Amino acid sequence: MYFNFSIYNYTKKADYWYKLKSYHKQLSKNKHLEIETFFTNYYLLSFEFDCKLSGKDHAGIRLKINIGSLELTISFYDSRHWDYKKKCWENK
């Protein structure tokens, strides 16, 4: 499932992006939690939700909220890569 609603900042002169804080924790062998905050002038308002638990690299759940150029991203993902030919996780 994927949902995105965004209002771009049409008055921006150049893209500006700056990471404020970042937190990462490995929860198990392949599962990770990541929380990040950013300042970016690209959006005035944005909401994004992505939930795909397999079938792509670093699959998982991601929630991104941007209000007035401050952005919060929360990701719970699998660190493995997806083998698109075999349709399964790659073995190392």
Residues in the chain: 92
Please check whether residue 48 lies inside any domain of the structure. Answer: yes
Please check whether residue 34 lies inside any domain of the structure. Answer: yes
Query: Which amino acid makes up residue 5?
Result: F
Please check whether residue 38 lies inside any domain of the structure. Answer: yes
Separation in Å, CA 23 to CA 74, 76, 84 = 10, 12, 30
What pTM was computed for the model?
0.84
Please check whether residue 91 lies inside any domain of the structure. Answer: no
What is the residue-level pLDDT of the chain in tens, covering all 92 positions?
Answer: 899 999 988 887 777 888 999 999 999 998 999 999 999 888 899 999 999 887 777 788 999 999 988 999 999 998 888 888 887 777 76
Q: What is the pLDDT of residue 80?
A: 85
Question: Per the structure, how many domains does the chain have?
Answer: 1
Q: What is the pLDDT of residue 72?
A: 97
Q: What is the pLDDT of residue 14?
A: 75
Provide the domain limits for residue 19: 2-82
Please check whether residue 88 lies inside any domain of the structure. Answer: no
Please check whether residue 9 lies inside any domain of the structure. Answer: yes
